[in-house]
Amino acid sequence: MPMLMLMTRVLIATSNPGKLRDFAGAAVPYGIKVSPLPNFSSLPPVVEDGATFEANARKKAEQYSLAVPGQVVIADDSGLEVDALGGAPGVHSARYAADEPHAADSNTDDEANNRKLIRQIRSVPAEQRTGRFVCWIAAARDGKTLAVFEGKSEGFILDRPRGHNGFGYDPLFYFPEISKTFAELSAEEKARYSHRGAAFRQFLEWISKQT
């Protein structure tokens, strides 16, 4: 019997409420619940020093999967790439407002990150503010990555926030296909169009083929 048929819950290595909300929204059509890894806050944090989203996702999934032997755990790393900024903030998206994002020990506030982004693109013409959200998900068991999945969403960066849902850069990310920012969508709507939803659906398709 396919593993997905046996699954009612997916363990996710995060305590980020925004990410959990995104994953939950993507899981609804499959009748699956998502849960943070048990006692996640008490586990030693993983240093996300990878040069790519994929590297960080693998590192987190592998280390955190050791806490639940025999079970599949997924972890993601994601962020925003703005073309006019040479792909920044990229892997430093969560620490963008720090004086030295590449050396920061902890994430910076969403609003501070958004304010910095607005400052950085202020002189860029609206039609040139192209960018994308990127998400890599790694699935691991017993410290070994089993598979990785990538999702992307292409859009434009606004110079002022719109909407009150979502998290991170969602209020500034305008998705032309629906003429809304990600912060103007419900969790289920966002899952339909988002980078994280796309990557998570690939994971669900993969695990449904495992026996």
φ, ψ (nearest 5 deg) of residue 16: -70, 115
Which residues share a beta bridge with 133? Answer: 80, 153
Distance of alpha carbon 157 from alpha carbon 121, whole angstroms = 8
Residue 172 to residues 119, 156, 181, 198, 202, Cα–Cα distance (Å): 12, 8, 7, 20, 26
Q: Which of 22, 49, 76, 77 is catalytic?
A: 77
- Contacts of residue 6, Cβ cutoff 8 Å, sequence gap at least 6: none
Residues linked to residue 10 through DSSP beta bridges, in sequence order:
34
- Count helices and strands (H / E) in the chain: 6, 7
Paired tokens of 169: 């850069």
Strands 73-82 and 9-12: parallel
Report the amino acid identity of residue 91: V
Instruction: Please name the amino acid found at residue 72.
Output: V
For residue 89, say if its preceding peptide bond is cis, omega within 30 degrees of 0: yes
Structure tokens at 11: 């363990």
Known active-site residue 77: yes
Q: Give the residue numbers annotated as catalytic, written as ranges.
A: 77
